[in-house]
Amino acid sequence: MPSPKKIVVQDFMRDSTIWDSVKPRSTDIIIASCYKSGTTLTQQIVNLLVNGNDNFESIHHISPWVELRFQSSETETGLIDSLPSPRILKTHLEFEALPYYQEWKYIYLVRDGRDVGVSLYNHCQTYLNNAYNLSITFDNGSDDFLEFWDLWVETGKPRWPFWENINSWWQVRNLSNILLVHYENLINRKSEEIIRIAKFLNQEINSSKVEMICQFSSFEYMKENWHKFQPPGVFKPQSFINKGTNKRWRNLLTPVQLQRYEIIISQKLEAECANWIKNGIL
């Protein structure tokens, strides 16, 4: 039996109650993040670990974002039911908004908030006007980056709160079926992180498999094959896989904004967690 969910999340993009229709399997793998922290990259890594190939038209068909509102719940549930085991399910929910099963494996991704803010701004700039085939355009924040940043770092807008999402997963980091992964390590210590993820998922791994996964999850490969990783009809062509780099904030944020960031992260997160966010070291 799952542990009871403590909160319900329903906003303009997410509806956590959709998870109530997911029939659990003991082999399910959950890939979670707040946003812009290597979610799609990790979906590809895990797919290559468990399936050994990326013979799919769209990764979003084999690893769906479960609580996304802009889809038919019946269609989405049918897709999830049809997936072979182990299923790889994506979420951007807080831990307390998800069903919890001891048999499930949860991978939670995090990234330096300064990099997230820059990446989210660029991400929001690439939405099509009729994204998700909606007749209205939802809020993607200011076109001015500095204005976008000031609102986002305080509130998470135009998306959902960043710090609270991280803190939610940080509090359960010691559960044996939860693995915390930092984007910095996925980029700069990729082989080591692939082995670490493989061991967590009880997947066989060797040097040739690591080499294959590195090749087919490289930025160059995913950028070239962008149509496999970009949700269809949502973003401008070839824009979903953007730069894949960190530290661009150094040339964008003012000293006052950087100082404010340090104040906020120290207020919102425990010192150990804040250090992990900034440095990738637990």
* Calculated CA dihedral for residues 212, 214, 215, 220, nearest 10 degrees: 170
Domains of the chain, CATH where assigned: 16-279 (3.40.50.300)
* pTM confidence score: 0.92
61-67: average pLDDT: 93
Strands ordered across the beta sheet of 178-182: 88-91, 29-33, 105-110, 178-182
- What's the pLDDT at 280? 81
Contact 272, 281 (CB under 8 A): no
Token pair listed for 24:
């659990």
- What's the pLDDT at 247? 73
Distance from C-alpha of 102 to C-alpha of 84, rounded to nearest angstrom: 20
Contact 236, 143 (CB under 8 A): no
Neighbours of 235 (CB within 10 A): 19
Distance from C-alpha of 52 to C-alpha of 45, rounded to nearest angstrom: 10
- What's the pLDDT at 92? 97
Contact 122, 242 (CB under 8 A): yes
For residue 137, pLDDT beyond 80: no
- What's the pLDDT at 174? 96
| Of the candidate ranges 54-63, 138-147, 244-253, the one whose mean pLDDT is the lowest | 244-253
Distance from C-alpha of 61 to C-alpha of 71, rounded to nearest angstrom: 13
Neighbours of 219 (CB within 10 A): 14
Residues 161-219 have pLDDT tens digits of 999 999 999 999 999 999 999 999 999 999 999 999 999 999 999 999 999 999 999 98
User: pLDDT class for 118, splitting at 50, 70, 90?
Assistant: very high
76-103: average pLDDT: 93
For residue 231, pLDDT beyond 80: no
Positions of E strands within the chain: 29-33, 88-91, 105-110, 178-182
Contact 200, 176 (CB under 8 A): no
Across all residues in the chain, what is the average pLDDT?
89
